[in-house]
Structure 1
Amino acid sequence: MNRRRLILIAAILLLVLAALFTRGFGLFGGRDGGTLTLNGNVDIRSVDLGFRVPGRIADMPVDEGARVAAGAKLAQLDTRPLSDAVAVAEADIAAADADLARRVNGNRPQDIAQAGATVAERQATLAKAREDYERRQALVKTGAISQALFDATRAQYLAAQAQLRAAEQALSLQKAGARIEDIDAARAQRAAAVARRDKARTDLADATITAPAAGTILTRAREPGAIVQPGEAVFTLTIDRPMRVRAYIAEPDLGRISPGMKVAVTADGNPRTYRGTIGFISPVAEFTPKTVETSDLRSDLVYRIRVIVADPDDALRQGQPVTVAIADARPARD
């Protein structure tokens, strides 16, 4: 009898232990409230860096594995050709400035005076030609001079009139200065020269690669002395701040979380627990990725969430599998 009682007691203990480890044989726990556990990975965020202009690499002060701050200099091209282009563009601007000033300021007083002197000379020539013409006009009628001599005199008189008109027009142009259209064209030429100068300066600035954000140099693809083309990858930079964790939550548990909830992030072999916050929940459902494990395999639909880790360190690596525990998850509805 005692043996039967012992067997019965042992069986009851086994059932109790089994119920504890299986959460009531699946009837309790899991999704009825309390901590919600998700699995995910630290996001891999990287960017390929290169020059926007061609050239020869002159300097690369960082190597693979180096941590760099935002704005740190990573590589430098030989800037001599680019500096020469800037100097040429600045000389073109100076020439355009001089041409525009000449047109805007008008002609020099000396030029106007010279044109006025030409008009006076043409007036004197015309007066002499008119006098000869009038005098010989009377003589030709009496036969004192030949008709040929009179015709030559008349031609000289007409030529003197035309020369005076030309000199007067030249004086008028000197006084009027450049046309509005010419001034506008000179301004446009200067604007084009400034644009070429600005482009040359931009090219010179693009001869330096700087880190767009703090991170770690993952790959150094080229070496000093290499000739590179625009867009060719020289470095690959991993960006680990802010550190993000990508996890997936099953559709039945979606109502238990919301953006702003605090989470705890742990990684295998790392005794530290990291603090984080749910920053994003995808509005679009996805099918369960093969690399993601969920505690509820009855649903194929999951939603991607992003967790921002508040206190990361170097022990937490990009791509590393992590566990996300949400202690404040709301109870699930039956």
Structure 2
Amino acid sequence: MTLDSLQPTTFKPSGKGLMNHKLTKWLMGLLILSSLTGGGYLVYRQTVISSAQEARSKMQTVPVQRETLPITISANGIIEAKQSTNVSPKSSGRLKSLLVDEGDSVKAGQILAYMDDSNLQGQLIQARGSLAAAQANLQKAIAGNRPQDIAQAQAQLEEAQANLQKGIVGNRPQDIAQAQARLKSAQATLAKAEDDFQRNQQLYNAGAISLQTVNQKRADRDSAQAAVNEAQQALALQKAGSRTEDIEQLKAVVEQRQQALALLKAGNRQEDIDSARAQVVQQQGSLKTIQTQIQDMVIRAPFSGIVTSKYSDPGDFVTPTTSGSSVSGSTSSSILSLASNYQVVANVAETDISKIKVGQPVTITADAYPDKTFQGKVAQVAAQATVTSNVTSLKVRVDLTDPETLLLPSMNVDAKFNAGNLNNVLVVPTVAIAREENGTGVRVLTETGRTRFVPIQTGLTVGNKTQVRSGLQGNEKVLVSAPRGFNRGSNRGGRSGGMGGGYGGMGGRRGGF
């Protein structure tokens, strides 16, 4: 029998066979549904649950640790000069020359400028001459009188004594005889003149001569008579001797010459020497004053520092003041300003001022030198607070160590005060701290591999770590990051699912410490 010869046979079940056929279809459908359900479960298990386990394996947790945290207080500050002054002359005058410019570094005692001192040079010469004269007078007073002066006074005394002796003794006989001889000569001349006059008178009476000749002879006779009278008086004086008044006068002259000689021999009095010495001191003071004024015309740096500003140019008139002025005018009140020993003046919040102590180390940074750090020490804490924009702060001065003098006045800096350490404290990464309905806390990894939220009380934040004051024992592991979409909660996935924002927000808030 071949296949082609086979004819299809139509099956016509009976009523009981039809019922069995429907039951078979229902069982087959149920079997297919069960297969599909089981397969879906297997797919779910392989995808969702496996993915969750893989995500847990990728969670980042860190153990809670005990560490020592340095306590630092940050504050903004500005560079100011601890020592600054405006350099001016001691007396008003005209600036002759200026040897430095803005930005120059100078040493203490270095010459900065010269003032015009021409009007003082004449006074200097005069003061030197006056001092020389005073010194000569002092030397003369100390040395006493010369021997020649004493000898001269001695001679004058002897002459006065001789005159006195002559006055007391009277005239010598020879002087009297001489006076008598002069009287006799005068009398003889008078007799001759009288004879000539008588003879000529007779001739005149006889008309032999003129009246003029008679008058001439009369005059000769009268002159001879006067000479006789004078000779008689001289002879009388010679015979009478010196008067008492003349003798007393001669005695006074002798005594005067004796006193003069005694003074010359005794030399100058001590008072005169002291007076001469005082004159020397006075002239020395006058000379020193002029010399000091000339020295003050040389302007020197009072201390080592940097020339921060220039107020005058050569030819400007400057005065002895400390206020600054512009160099654009014809007169200026100062020459230049000098600053040294720079300090950091930081404004520290009143809540942190109790942690600031004199001598405390400070680390300083400046935007101008981002790759450099500078060191300093607290030098002074202000005794009075200041309020600016309703913020209370106190000024803290910090001595700066800057050998290269890189930081200049008015530069802005950041100061970090090293206020000590927190020893052996619990710390967690700052990014692990989150804020939920229960407060601020961290997510701790449980033994089942899930996380639970633990509220904590935080303390100081240093860098990327924060102190935990309470809430943790120290043996936990805290969650710092998890894969996106991971269920951080144990049973309340909806609320826990919002932790991502909480973590990111806490990390951003703490990042400013």
Deviation at 1:59, TM superposition (A): 1.4
Aligned to 1:120: 158
Aligned to 2:124: 86
Aligned to 1:239: 339
Q: Which amino acid aligns with 1:219?
A: S
Aligned to 1:223: 313
Say if 2:273 is the partner of 1:183.
yes
Aligned to 1:16: none
Aligned to 1:213: 303
Q: How does 1:1-334 map to 2 (within 5 A)?
A: 34-44=71-81, 45-132=83-170, 150=240, 153-231=243-321, 233-240=333-340, 242-271=341-370, 272-282=372-382, 284-289=383-388, 297=391, 300=392, 302-311=393-402, 313-329=404-420
Q: 2:85 is paired with a residue of what secondary structure?
A: strand
TM-score calculated relative to the size of structure 2: 0.50
**Separation in structure 2 between the aligned mates of residue 315 and residue 177 of structure 1, nearest angstrom:** 73
Structure 1 alignment gaps of length 5 or more: 3-31, 136-144
Q: C-alpha offsets along residues 127-171 of structure 1, whole Å, 9 cap, x if unaligned?
A: 111101899xxxxxxxxx979985852222121111111111111
Identity rate of aligned residues, in percent?
30
Deviation at 1:209, TM superposition (A): 1.1
* Worse-matched range after superposition: 194-203 or 264-273: 264-273
User: Given that residues 216 and 239 in structure 1 are in contact (C-alpha distance below 8 angstroms), is that contact kept between their aligned partners in structure 2?
Assistant: yes
Q: 1:217 is paired with a residue of what secondary structure?
A: strand
Deviation at 1:37, TM superposition (A): 1.0
TM-score calculated relative to the size of structure 1: 0.75
**Separation in structure 2 between the aligned mates of residue 43 and residue 328 of structure 1, nearest angstrom:** 23
Structure 2 alignment gaps of length 5 or more: 1-47, 49-68, 174-234, 322-331, 423-458, 461-513
**Separation in structure 2 between the aligned mates of residue 329 and residue 249 of structure 1, nearest angstrom:** 17
CA spacing shift, 1:147–1:215, aligned 2, 3 Å = closer
Q: Which amino acid aligns with 2:120?
A: L
Q: 1:233 is paired with a residue of what secondary structure?
A: coil
CA spacing shift, 1:163–1:201, aligned 2, 3 Å = same
Task: Name the Cα RMSD after superposition.
Answer: 3.2
Deviation at 1:85, TM superposition (A): 2.5
User: Given that residues 114 and 297 in structure 2 are in contact (C-alpha distance below 8 angstroms), is that contact kept between their aligned partners in structure 1?
Assistant: yes
Q: 1:264 is paired with a residue of what secondary structure?
A: strand
Deviation at 1:253, TM superposition (A): 2.4
CA spacing shift, 1:65–1:311, aligned 2, 3 Å = closer
User: Given that residues 56 and 227 in structure 1 are in contact (C-alpha distance below 8 angstroms), is that contact kept between their aligned partners in structure 2?
Assistant: yes
User: Given that residues 309 and 338 in structure 2 are in contact (C-alpha distance below 8 angstroms), is that contact kept between their aligned partners in structure 1?
Assistant: no
**Separation in structure 1 between the aligned mates of residue 102 and residue 130 of structure 2, nearest angstrom:** 43
**Separation in structure 2 between the aligned mates of residue 74 and residue 182 of structure 1, nearest angstrom:** 47
User: Given that residues 79 and 343 in structure 2 are in contact (C-alpha distance below 8 angstroms), is that contact kept between their aligned partners in structure 1?
Assistant: yes
**Separation in structure 1 between the aligned mates of residue 396 and residue 299 of structure 2, nearest angstrom:** 33
Which structure has more relative contact order (CA 8 Å, sep 6+)? It is: 1
Q: 1:113 is paired with a residue of what secondary structure?
A: helix
**Separation in structure 1 between the aligned mates of residue 288 and residue 274 of structure 2, nearest angstrom:** 21
Q: C-alpha offsets along residues 180-209 of structure 1, whole Å, 9 cap, x if unaligned?
A: 222111111110100011111111110111
**Separation in structure 1 between the aligned mates of residue 172 and residue 253 of structure 2, nearest angstrom:** 19
Q: Which has the larger radius of gyration?
A: 2
CA spacing shift, 1:147–1:62, aligned 2, 3 Å = closer
Q: C-alpha offsets along residues 9-63 of structure 1, whole Å, 9 cap, x if unaligned?
A: xxxxxxxxxxxxxxxxxxxxxxx97211122211145311111134332211222
User: Given that residues 265 and 323 in structure 1 are in contact (C-alpha distance below 8 angstroms), is that contact kept between their aligned partners in structure 2?
Assistant: yes
Aligned to 2:469: none
